[in-house]
Amino acid sequence: MEQKRTSIYENGLIWFGAGVSIAEIITGTYFAPLGFGKGLLAVITGHIIGCFMLFLAGLIGGRTRKSAMETVKMSFGSKGGIFFSLLNVLQLVGWTAIMIYDGALAANSIFGAGKWIWCLVIGGLIILWILIGIKNLGKINTVAMAALFILTLILCKVIFFDGSELPISEESMSFGAAVELSAAMPLSWLPLISDYTRDAEKPLAATAVSAIVYGIISCWMYAIGMGAAIFTAESDIAQIMVKAGLGIAGLLIVVFSTVTTTFLDAYSAGISGESILSKLKGKWVAVAAAVIGTVGAVLFNMDDITDFLYLIGSVFAPMIAVQIADHFILKKDSSDKSFDIISCIVWVIGFILYRFLMTKDIPVGNTLPDMAATIVICVIAKNSLQAQAKKQK
């Protein structure tokens, strides 16, 4: 029986849903001290960097028809890939909890029934999305995305046309740090985009559309958050919706944007779980991730996610840099090995370099120079090893 493939349109819808996110709006509020013009430039610059890497990561999975964590094994070996699968499951469960937490707080600000109740509502809807399945969500996603699109347009009108620019505080964030915070969001999707592009009818086109759609929508969400802080002096997006009289419409934005984004995190946690242990059923691992995330959202405070974003960047940026070097430049596949020691060593170097560069103020952020350096080190190290092996023969 021929496997059902996802269309370019369906892939675009998936990543539209990923981009429409309360977490991204909240992150956008951090850019307000830069002013709207400079802040928007930082947002766009960071997203160009992050989404180009997102495209390359997705293309590897689309070409090989492998999930994100299975493509990692091509660079780090079968057991080396398990290490990153474990890290990925942890970060995806963390994201699930953060997204449910943010969504529940915002929903409770609009319709106060108790944060924990909204955590349960959102968590329950995410589980429903998982049980329906990625390949059966086409019509549901179309309706949800159309509603979210209209409601975010209304939100933009409230912020940018009904508000007026207010004095901003002194800059508390450098331009380079802002670029990095902007790049961090698309980078957080690197370890899972292949979970969706592997099933695409046209991998190249679907991957390009996924990265472009996500980049545009994510920039839009950042701009909404930044605009809210600058033009209304309000960083709580739910309160802006309440003041604008959106009421139920605002509640729908919050709940469905949280569900459509967080579903991807939980779903990919399931796929990564299968990479760790083939006996595991991805759907039920995803359900477990949603349940754990819901419990975490109820129990813990998750107001500031900047350190979490930077940690994700430091782990997965050098990882994908090694993959890019192997797949596009060296044409190497180490999935038949337990460990590719050179790849593991290069990743450690890239991780340390990323953490070091975080202490420096670089105009383009530290992701781009870190990944460029990691790719160069990987190519030099593996070519040198190959040349040495030929001499010994």
* Residue 191: predicted pLDDT: 86
* Residue 164: predicted pLDDT: 62
Q: Rounded CA gap, 32 and 206, in Å?
A: 34
Of the candidates 276, 236, 243, 292, the one whose C-alpha atom is nearest the C-alpha of residue 22 is 236
Of the candidates 323, 322, 272, 316, the one whose C-alpha atom is nearest the C-alpha of residue 184 is 316
* Residue 1: predicted pLDDT: 41
CA atoms within 13 A on the CB side of 328: 16
Of the candidates 257, 212, 224, the one whose C-alpha atom is nearest the C-alpha of residue 102 is 257
Q: Rounded CA gap, 117 and 301, in Å?
A: 16
Q: What percent of the chain has pLDDT over 90?
A: 42
Q: Rounded CA gap, 247 and 156, in Å?
A: 16
All residues at 6 or more sequence positions from 33 whose CB lies less than 8 Å from its CB, including other chains: 168, 169, 170, 171, 172, 173
Radius of gyration of the chain (CA): 21
Q: Rounded CA gap, 65 and 304, in Å?
A: 36
Please state the separation of Cα 20 from the chain's center in Å: 11
* Residue 203: predicted pLDDT: 93
Helix, coil or strand: residue 340: coil
Which residues are bridge partners to 200 per DSSP?
6
Of the candidates 253, 277, 315, the one whose C-alpha atom is nearest the C-alpha of residue 94 is 315
* Residue 137: predicted pLDDT: 61
Q: Rounded CA gap, 106 and 299, in Å?
A: 16
Phi, psi of 234 (to 5 degrees): -130, 120
Instruction: Retrieve residue 222's tokens.
Output: 């950042």
Residues in the chain predicted with pLDDT less than 70, given as ranges, are 1-3, 134-139, 141, 163-171, 235, 243-245, 393
* Cβ contact 194:73 at 8 Å: no
Which residues are bridge partners to 6 per DSSP?
200
For the chain, what's the residue count? 393
In tens, the pLDDT along 147-169 reads 777 777 877 887 777 766 655 55
Helix, coil or strand: residue 38: helix
Of the candidates 275, 287, 292, the one whose C-alpha atom is nearest the C-alpha of residue 87 is 275
Give me the helix-helix angle, 367-392 and 175-187, nearest 10°. Answer: 60
Q: Rounded CA gap, 58 and 223, in Å?
A: 25
Q: Rounded CA gap, 201 and 197, in Å?
A: 9
Q: How many CB atoms lie within 10 A of CB 355?
A: 15
The residue assigned the tokens 């409770």 is 108
* Cβ contact 140:154 at 8 Å: no
Say if residue 308 is exposed, middle or buried (CB neighbours under 10 Å; 0-12, 13-18, 19+).
Answer: middle
In tens, the pLDDT along 223-243 reads 988 988 888 777 677 777 776
Own/partner long-range contacts of 234-240 (Cβ < 8 Å, ≥24 apart): 235/26, 235/29, 235/32, 236/106, 236/109, 237/22, 237/25, 237/26, 237/29, 237/106, 237/155, 238/105, 238/106, 238/107, 238/109, 238/110, 239/109, 240/155, 240/158, 240/159
